[in-house]
A and B are shown apart, each in its own frame.
Chain A
Amino acid sequence: MKAPLSTEALAVGYPGRRLVERVDIALRPGELVALIGVNGGGKSTLLHTLAGLHPPLAGKVRSLEAEIGTLSAVERARRMALVLTGRPAAGLMDVRTLVAMGRQPWTGHFGRLTEDDHRIIDGALQAVDVVHLAGRQLRELSDGEAQRVMIARALAQDTPVMLLDEPMAFLDLVNRLRLLRTLRQLAHDRQKAVLLSTHDLQSALDLCDRLLLIHDGRLWNGTPADAVVSGVLEALFSGEGLRFDPATRSFRAS
């Protein structure tokens, strides 16, 4: 079976500045994958390139059989949903209306919602446990709640792939773990391919099915268990005053 999202000899970055190259990955349905790397290493750019919102420098991004550049904006939006860091200034808009925007790629010209759309929106609100917030304004919510709402919006988009750019950036430890558990459940229960970029290596080692590590302009691809024993984690942060302790699977100041 074709992967819902795969790359072939992909290079990402900006003209004159190659950030990551020779990326050959495939996201499988039902797995939660974390993308990890130092700041400025190309996490966001890679994610935006996978989402089809940034042109690749070389190579290909494929969604099932189709190359992403050949898809229309709407076709792309039906295959991939995106969640960004923080909350947008959405104006006067209650949570339900915001989540309903996820239906845009599927609705008609004026965005009228059908019974089916409403059912999917209800399901999305339930799945991330924000039903009780449906009537509230986005700006009144806590950071954790707002991020869950943005995930509900992506869920309502009903796509096989969900890409999240540092969704846990502003969250405390409890909310980070809660969010990651939710994403893991969504990936496993709904057979979605979920890829998130994060700095929270610890939580990613504990809860993600697979890790993608950006190191020296290349992408390391493997399970958390492989990452712990392979030495790649030490290499990733070597010289940064950190030491990785495989026994506790955590970093210590050296």
Chain B
Amino acid sequence: MTRRNAWLLVALVAANLVLFLLHLLVGPVPLDVGDALAALFDGADGAGRVVRSVRLPEALTAVLAGSGLAVCGLLMQTLFRNPLAGPSVLGLSSGASLGVAVLMLARPLWLLAWMPAEFAVIVGAFVGAMAVLALIMLADKRMGDGVALLVVGLMVGYLCGAIIDVLQVAGPEGALKGFVLWGMGSFGGVVNERLPLLAAVVLPGLFVALWCMKALNALLLGETYAASLGVDVPRTRRTIMWTTGLLAGSITAFCGPIAFLGLATPHVARGLCRTSDHTTLLPITLLTGASLALCCDLIIKVPGAAGLPLNAITALLGAPVVAWVLWSGKRWARTA
């Protein structure tokens, strides 16, 4: 890592800390720094409850989900050698949504009977995400064309959306509201009790991604070069696939299908550190993802913007990045 990028890393850590702190202050009950810190460490009063049981878990969720989705996007962009790959564009989020919809709306009782509901949502999302990922990998092998792959991803997304629509009409009234809210995306739905479960999936996923940095670099040159450099390509592909499916599936289960964060963040990170070398790019992407998620969530928490769905903000910020990647075609098409 160059000296410049080492400083960038430090700056991103600092930015994350500041954003995290801001997160504890902003909301319906504004707090100042002293109050928030006091509440964080010894508050049983009202402010303490707000910070410790509402704002802290939400901020932690944003950090986990943001970094997880960003790393997921980077892994997919490197694996498919396609700058437009990401969990939402390639239909992973849609697959996860479908899995959740089947469990929440169709309620297959034989399945739910032996599984706690929260666990079932994760399993549904994970199975949905993995199924779509397997399909995409198959399509990638067959077609070997980036744009065609993207179209397949979009079609899978539409298809899942259509099935979800059918389930919504047929599903019970009460479950429908819950599902629609979940579909808007939110970092606020993960309460303290469930946070360890999210962390238990996301943290190992991030660790595995960091563990694979050298092989990911070799894969930038293509699978033949990677194999000639001593990378066990099939095993690496499998590892990346499982990691991607677990990250996208679990984060979607807990926070809803969050659009664009996974696709856009690696491009922002590349713009910041100006290299595709994963030993630099991966940590930078991870931290940028956490910052962007905290930013987006802060925007919808500012009084006056309350009630805005998280997905509206991530799309507002993310869609232009995608457009820009396509627009500047040649230069960025090769930077995956």
- Give residues in A with beta carbon < 8 Å to B: 48, 51, 53, 72-78, 80-82, 84, 88-94, 97, 101-102, 104-105, 107, 109-111, 139, 157
Contact = CB atoms under 8 A, between A and B. Distances in A.
B214 interface: yes
A94 B334 CA distance: 13
Interface stretch (B133-141, B216-224, B239-247): B216-224
A90 B227 contact: no
B52 interface: no
Nearest to A104: B229
B230 A74 contact: yes
Given A93-B220, A93-B276, A53 B228 contact: yes
Nearest to B334: A89
A101 B335 CA distance: 17
Given A93-B276, A102-B229, A104-B218, 15 more contacts: A53-B227, A76-B230, A77-B228, A80-B228, A82-B225, A89-B334, A91-B220, A91-B335, A92-B274, A104-B230, A105-B230, A109-B211, A111-B214, A139-B334, A157-B229
Interface residues of B, number: 26
Contact of A90 (B214, B220, B231): B220
A92 B225 contact: no
Given A91-B334, A93-B277, A82 B228 contact: yes
A110 B210 CA distance: 9
Contacts of B5: none
Contact of A110 (B218, B228, B279): B279
A51 B220 CA distance: 20
Contacts of B276: 90-93
29 contacts: A48-B224, A53-B227, A53-B228, A73-B227, A76-B230, A84-B224, A84-B225, A88-B220, A88-B221, A90-B220, A91-B276, A91-B336, A92-B275, A92-B276, A92-B335, A93-B220, A93-B275, A104-B218, A104-B230, A104-B231, A105-B229, A107-B214, A109-B211, A109-B214, A110-B213, A110-B279, A111-B214, A139-B334, A157-B229
Nearest to B280: A97
A61 B199 CA distance: 48
Contacts of B227: 53, 73
A81 B228 contact: yes
Given A91-B336, A105-B229, A53 B214 contact: no
Q: Which of A89, A92, A94, A97 gathers the greatest number of chain B CB atoms within 10 Å? A: A92
A4 to B, nearest CB: 16
B230 A88 contact: no
Contact of A111 (B81, B213, B220): B213
Q: Which of A84, A91, A93 gathers the greatest number of chain B CB atoms within 10 Å? A: A91
A109 B208 CA distance: 13
Contact of A89 (B81, B211, B229): B81
B23 interface: no
Nearest to B210: A110
A78 B229 CA distance: 8
Contacts of A104: 214, 217-218, 229-231
Contacts of A53: 224, 227-228
Contacts of B335: 91-92
Interface string B86-103: 000000000000000000
A104 B236 CA distance: 15
Contacts of B270: 92
A88 to B, nearest CB: 4
Contacts of A90: 220-221, 276, 334
The 5 A-B pairs at the shortest CB distance, nearest first, are namely A91-B276, A77-B230, A82-B228, A74-B230, A105-B230
Interface in B253-301: 270, 274-277, 279
A196 B277 CA distance: 29
B165 interface: no
Contacts of A139: 334
Nearest to B233: A73
Q: Which of B230, B275, B335 gathers the greatest number of chain A CB atoms within 10 Å? A: B230
A51 B277 CA distance: 26
Given A88-B220, A90-B221, A92-B335, A73 B230 contact: yes
Contacts of B118: none
B232 interface: yes
Nearest to B331: A139
Nearest to A165: B224
A101 B227 CA distance: 12
Nearest to A87: B221
Interface in B194-221: 211, 213-214, 217-218, 220-221
A74 B222 CA distance: 17
Nearest to B271: A92
A48 B223 CA distance: 13
Contacts of A84: 222, 224-225
A105 B218 CA distance: 11
